[in-house]
Chains A and B, each alone.
Chain A
């Protein structure tokens, strides 16, 4: 499945819920399904700046693909980063850098987060792209 297909799938999944509480619940379930993140990886370098709740994001390159792992001390934030990982992880740096993130607005996520979390979301996307750029440079 391409990034675009994955994004479309998510937009569709969210559209099945009318109430935002149910959409949060869906996000929370995604967060709960996120593989556990080792405590020793929760370092300041992996901490995403600009979030009120703490989010750690790590990237490894495996067979030319960027594999993300993450954790957060808040469960909705954990759900958001889990969703982003679902979309962008296990892709080549080029795929990540060419993809857009319009699906976030299509879901309506941005406008249904507090302003601090909107900033946090922005920082998460920026960090994902930066890590993909770093991976691209290392490969080249």
Chain B
């Protein structure tokens, strides 16, 4: 399949805005949906709409089947060990909040430590801030350097500091969880999460990976990665909106209390007490967004199509053209640097650790041009980009700016679009100076 053919799967990409061809470069916010996803979404609503799990009739059986097929599709997509480890949520934010609440309830108390990355989306920062406020635990930061790379020596230090006393198994650890992003929604760099997980596991500390962007650009294998939790949204990876997945290792999920409570997540209920259903239902109180979640098989099939060599190669060419063209402008500052990750060397004493890779996300500022002005003018040229703080204020502030422009691509974006973007950017800059 060619990029052109892949692109044709997405009806919205044919539309015009202000009489101009749409160039959709805001994929990190949400991807567009292929016809197959939209059709499935509608079909479940039109033909099989009934509450899942609860009834014995035909429609309920169909809706429930579609829901469980989606669970299997999600399990296979990230290679989880079992369906019990796939919890459906309303999105990545809800998935992370589930862990912050339930894992926090079970394991985090005053005097403990939770570590988060400096480059996190607010969804993987604020839930941990609130957890620490609730419990009296302390929040520590895994900092990034000016290239956007993690300084793993700080993490090593924090894990060593967290060790205290000695119990039967060796030592106890004040650090209860490390939560980091797979790919920053601002910098677009593929972070060395495997290295973090190895370091943390050596210290007995579980790791949550925010996969909101990672799931889009990387082949995620949660067993190979060995993360304890992996959270992502459906809508960024071609599925319907209002959908998300929390992957958790069974050993953690089993020990965690429910987050929300209500229907379908219970075992036996009396007026004074309830015991809970098994996994994954324990974490799925209330009627799930089943028509939307049912689009997972089609969505993940689309994601796999995009990874086929012909499309992947052309996508890489588009991305590297865009990166080179942005770097070629003296007045553009592109954030996040792929080369020479010094902070990773502490890990295994690697002399030259592998360079970071960039995944289709380009955040930049233009000297003398406000990001919001540029986005506004580009919009009128038919180009959709993001501007501002991108729900990741600390990372924007790290680079000493009040906001950035972000062009985030998907495999359906073409070289013509990238060229048109660069040309329009030039025009916009001339207009705005």
Query: Which residues of A does B touch, CB under 8 Å?
Result: 19-21, 24-25, 28, 52-54, 73-77, 112-114, 116-117
- Distance between B130 CB and nearest chain A CB, rounded to angstroms: 25
In angstroms, Cα B377 to Cα A112, docked, is 10
The answer to whether A117 touches B376 (Cβ under 8 A) is yes
If over half of B's interface residues share one DSSP class (helix, strand or loop), that class is named, otherwise mixed; here it is helix
Contacts A25-B431, A73-B402, A74-B370; A113 near B376 (Cβ below 8 A): yes
The answer to whether B432 touches A75 (Cβ under 8 A) is yes
In the complex, chain A residues whose CB is within 8 Å of the CB of B376:
24, 76, 113-114, 117
Query: Within 8 Å of chain A (Cβ to Cβ): is B329?
Result: no
In the complex, chain B residues whose CB is within 8 Å of the CB of A114:
372, 375-376, 379
In the complex, chain A residues whose CB is within 8 Å of the CB of B402:
54, 73
* A79 to B, closest residue via Cβ: B373
Query: Within 8 Å of chain A (Cβ to Cβ): is B403?
Result: yes
The answer to whether B431 touches A73 (Cβ under 8 A) is no
Contacts A52-B403, A75-B370; A20 near B375 (Cβ below 8 A): no
In B349-386, which residues have CB < 8 Å from any A CB? 369-370, 372-373, 375-377, 379-381
Q: How many A-B residue pairs have CB under 8 A?
A: 49
Q: Which 6 A-B pairs have the closest CB atoms?
A: A74-B370, A76-B373, A20-B380, A74-B373, A21-B380, A53-B372
- Distance between A42 CB and nearest chain B CB, rounded to angstroms: 14
Contacts A52-B388, A52-B403, A75-B432; A24 near B377 (Cβ below 8 A): yes
Could you pull out 23 A-B pairs where Cβ atoms are within 8 angstroms? A20-B18, A20-B380, A21-B377, A21-B381, A24-B376, A24-B377, A24-B431, A25-B431, A28-B431, A52-B372, A52-B388, A53-B373, A54-B402, A73-B402, A74-B373, A75-B369, A75-B370, A75-B373, A75-B432, A76-B373, A77-B373, A114-B376, A116-B372
* B431 to A, closest residue via Cβ: A25
Query: Which residues of B does A touch, CB under 8 Å?
Result: 18, 369-370, 372-373, 375-377, 379-381, 388, 402-403, 431-432
Query: Which of B18, B376, B381, B402 has the most C-beta atoms of chain A within 10 angstroms of its own C-beta?
Result: B376
In the complex, chain A residues whose CB is within 8 Å of the CB of B369:
75
In the complex, chain A residues whose CB is within 8 Å of the CB of B432:
28, 75-76
In angstroms, Cα B370 to Cα A25, docked, is 15
- Distance between A82 CB and nearest chain B CB, rounded to angstroms: 14
- Distance between B116 CB and nearest chain A CB, rounded to angstroms: 26
- Distance between B23 CB and nearest chain A CB, rounded to angstroms: 15
In the complex, chain B residues whose CB is within 8 Å of the CB of A20:
18, 380
Query: Which of B372, B431, B432 has the most C-beta atoms of chain A within 10 angstroms of its own C-beta?
Result: B372
Contacts A20-B18, A24-B431; A74 near B380 (Cβ below 8 A): no
* A20 to B, closest residue via Cβ: B380
* A23 to B, closest residue via Cβ: B380
In the complex, chain A residues whose CB is within 8 Å of the CB of B388:
52, 116
Beyond the given pairs A52-B403, A76-B370, A76-B373, 11 more chain A to chain B contacts, judged by CB atoms under 8 angstroms and listed by A's residue number, are: A20-B18, A24-B377, A52-B372, A54-B402, A76-B372, A77-B370, A77-B373, A112-B380, A114-B375, A116-B388, A117-B376
The answer to whether B377 touches A117 (Cβ under 8 A) is no
In the complex, chain A residues whose CB is within 8 Å of the CB of B372:
52-53, 74, 76-77, 114, 116-117
Contact of A24 among B18, B370, B380, B403 (CB under 8 A): B380
* A74 to B, closest residue via Cβ: B370
Query: Which of B379, B380, B381 has the most C-beta atoms of chain A within 10 angstroms of its own C-beta?
Result: B380
In angstroms, Cα B375 to Cα A73, docked, is 15
In angstroms, Cα B388 to Cα A116, docked, is 10
In the complex, chain A residues whose CB is within 8 Å of the CB of B381:
21
Query: Which of B370, B377, B380, B432 has the most C-beta atoms of chain A within 10 angstroms of its own C-beta?
Result: B370
- Distance between B65 CB and nearest chain A CB, rounded to angstroms: 40
* A24 to B, closest residue via Cβ: B377
In the complex, chain A residues whose CB is within 8 Å of the CB of B403:
52
The answer to whether A53 touches B370 (Cβ under 8 A) is yes
* B433 to A, closest residue via Cβ: A75
- Distance between A126 CB and nearest chain B CB, rounded to angstroms: 20
* B381 to A, closest residue via Cβ: A21
- Distance between A71 CB and nearest chain B CB, rounded to angstroms: 12
- Distance between A13 CB and nearest chain B CB, rounded to angstroms: 18
* B369 to A, closest residue via Cβ: A75
In angstroms, Cα B193 to Cα A34, docked, is 51
